[in-house]
Structure 1
């Protein structure tokens, strides 16, 4: 096995957002949690677990257990690693302007403009419910 593919068993990634970004292009698969296919909460769980952060599996449980609440009005001031929650969906902020998320609209894990994603999801009938900061 090439050395670059080997790590100590207790190694934790420093940046869970960078872990999530490695999955860009991975097909969307409801209930999936691997590079063969994953869903939004599976992406969040994989990324956080790689950084040594315990994380429940479903987005509603993640919303109730991770970080601290940030006012929805602060959606224009997101920080790297903030989690955005809709009914049945979660995304990870890369910075103040973009998110990474696995979603059925694109049928893949993508990087998307945050404002555009919020507007598109709202037009489909789901308001942004919560922002959590780790």
Structure 2
């Protein structure tokens, strides 16, 4: 079994080893993956983060795994060739990307093990405590473009937003709204149709082929093709377009550890 680590800022996972086919998910810098198959330069990869498998295009940069020391906590973070904002960035990392620092530090900048530099304020240690409020994490993605199969600040879909927000709270699920609907790790099942639910901040609301997060008792945050972006809108408006087919309440919302 061959384990590799993504060094590209992000990479698509496709349904089949062919350009132009639908993206099923995305990997971000520093994530490890298991190579399941190789075909004409394409790699069928299983992401260790969430277990999602798909095809990585030829030329996707990866390496032998190194232990990450820090995670990008900014929505996006530029990699610079020197420890200064005046050096034009050479790449941009998404929220959640993993990096390994090499011990260099200068004027608030820190060096990475590939010889580049990041502003230290964009990072947190990989063992930093999980976020208490997954909605605060999700709200940072407002106006991010909708991208089918995306789960980064470069582009994200509905289940990718839920996956990312809940992972920030220490709960990793699936990159699929249908699988998330069935996943008890995401919380207690509250309703099959949303009726008679006194919604709370943090509730996860499911629709056929779609999912969103409640910001408060009446407002939904979701990545939607309706606007091709991450937006906040009244739940009542979303229900005019699609019927609710499930509601989950994360356990940290039930026990009150999520901030409101």
TM-score by length of 1: 0.90
Higher relative contact order (CA 8 A, sep 6+): 1
Specify the SS of the correspondent of 1:19. Answer: helix
Structure 1 runs, 4 residues or longer, greater than 6 Å off:
none
C-alpha separation in 1, matches of 2:176 and 2:127: 25
Q: Which runs of 5+ in 2 are unaligned?
A: 1-117, 251-260
Could you tell me which of 208, 227, 233 is aligned with 1:106? 227
Please report how far the alpha carbon of residue 74 of structure 1 lies from its aligned counterpart in structure 2 after TM superposition: 2.8
Could you tell me which of 119, 141, 152 is aligned with 1:34? 152
Specify the SS of the correspondent of 2:138. Answer: helix
Matched pairs, number: 128
Structure number with larger C-alpha Rg: 2
Report the equivalent of 1:23: 141
Q: Which runs of 5+ in 1 are unaligned?
A: none
Please report how far the alpha carbon of residue 22 of structure 1 lies from its aligned counterpart in structure 2 after TM superposition: 0.3
Report the equivalent of 1:82: 203
| Aligned Cα root-mean-square deviation (Å) | 1.2
Specify the SS of the correspondent of 2:231. Answer: strand
TM-score by length of 2: 0.48
Report the equivalent of 2:119: 2
- Larger proportion of strand: 2
C-alpha separation in 2, matches of 1:23 and 1:8: 21
Q: Which range moved further: 83-92 or 9-18? A: 9-18
Specify the SS of the correspondent of 2:125. Answer: coil
Please report how far the alpha carbon of residue 2 of structure 1 lies from its aligned counterpart in structure 2 after TM superposition: 3.3
Report the equivalent of 1:118: 239
- Could you report, residue by residue, the CA deviation over 1:69-115 in whole angstroms, capped at 9, with x for unpaired residues? 1132134x210110000111000001101111000001000011111
Could you tell me which of 54, 59, 84 is aligned with 2:177? 59
Please report how far the alpha carbon of residue 53 of structure 1 lies from its aligned counterpart in structure 2 after TM superposition: 0.9
1:13 paired to 2:135: no
